[in-house]
Structures are given as C-alpha cells and as structure tokens.
Amino acid sequence: MTTQHRALPGAGIVAPDVARLLARADAELVAAGLTADPAERFVHSHLGALRAAAAVVALRGRPPARSRARSVWDMLALVEPGLAPWSLYFAGGARTRAAVDAGRFDAVEARRADEIMACAEDFRDEVAMLVDPDVGFVRHPSLQVVAS
C-alpha cells in the first residue's frame, strides 16, 4: 500500500493527515470571519487554532507517553517549543470555549473574540511556515532579506 502526499503551494510535500488538519483549521477561521456573533467567532477561532496545533503535533509526532501531556496544547509545547507561548495563550481560552459550548453565549465580548481570531490567524500562519516555509509567500528575486 502506498501513502499519498499532497503538495501545498511551495516546494514541500505534506502528509495527508497534516494537510487535512490545516484545511480544517482554515475552514474554522473562515467561519469565524463570517459570523457577527462574538461567541461563535471565539469558538471557531479557538477551534481553528486547535486544528493548526494538532497539525504540528501530527507533523512532529506525539510526545512520549511518559511526558504526561494531556492536551494538544501541552503536546504542542513539547514537540515544538518555539510555539509554547501560543500554547499557553490558547490553552487559556479553553474554559471560555467550554462555557460557550455549554450555552453561556454572554461569556465572550466582541473585543475578545476579535483578539483571538487575529491571534488564531497569526498562529495558523506560523504553522504554515513550519509545515512548508514557502507556502503562501512570494519571494521577489530582486529583494534581499536584511537582518535588523
């Protein structure tokens, strides 16, 4: 049996499970952008970030069982330490998402929903660069990257 890989724009080849998780993350972020309801925007944004984190865990491999990682956010911090700050940020929103899931639609203000949506989009971009550094970025041949 052969494993098929889907190429994303750029030079990389992405395993099907990683590509599927990234597509689900994108779908959640699109849904977040289409809703006017802050609670729904928060939930879709948080789920989008969660799917992107799961893609990184799928890409890097799950941490060893003895690590006692209990959530995707814990696993993300273990398998990709550079994303640990994102892990902490989004783990902090899990209670709010659970409150909305339980019917507490007043648990999210519009400002907080907008913040998490912007952060989820930024996080998704960082994940895309990990998966395939050239995805979605056009490099003009006459431009030079200069360190500041």
Distance of alpha carbon 84 from alpha carbon 131, whole angstroms = 17
- pLDDT at position 63, please? 74
Residue 142 belongs to a domain:
no
Residue 1 belongs to a domain:
no
Residue 138 belongs to a domain:
no
- pLDDT at position 4, please? 38
Q: Among 58, 17, 29, which residue's Cα sits nearest to residue 124?
A: 29
- Whether pTM > 0.85 for this model: the answer is no
Total structural domains in the chain? 1
- pLDDT at position 64, please? 73
Residue 50 belongs to a domain:
yes
pLDDT digits (tens, 9 = 90+) for 104-141: 988 899 999 999 999 999 999 999 988 887 665 544 45
Which residue stretches of the chain are H helix?
16-34, 38-60, 72-79, 84-91, 94-101, 110-131
In the structure, what pLDDT confidence band is assigned to residue 14 with cuts at 50, 70 and 90? confident
pLDDT digits (tens, 9 = 90+) for 48-106: 999 999 999 999 987 777 766 688 999 999 999 999 999 999 999 989 999 998 999 88
Residue 40 belongs to a domain:
yes
- Domain span holding position 104: 6-131
**What is the CATH classification number for the domain harbouring 60?**
1.20.120
Beta strand 6-7 with 13-14 is antiparallel
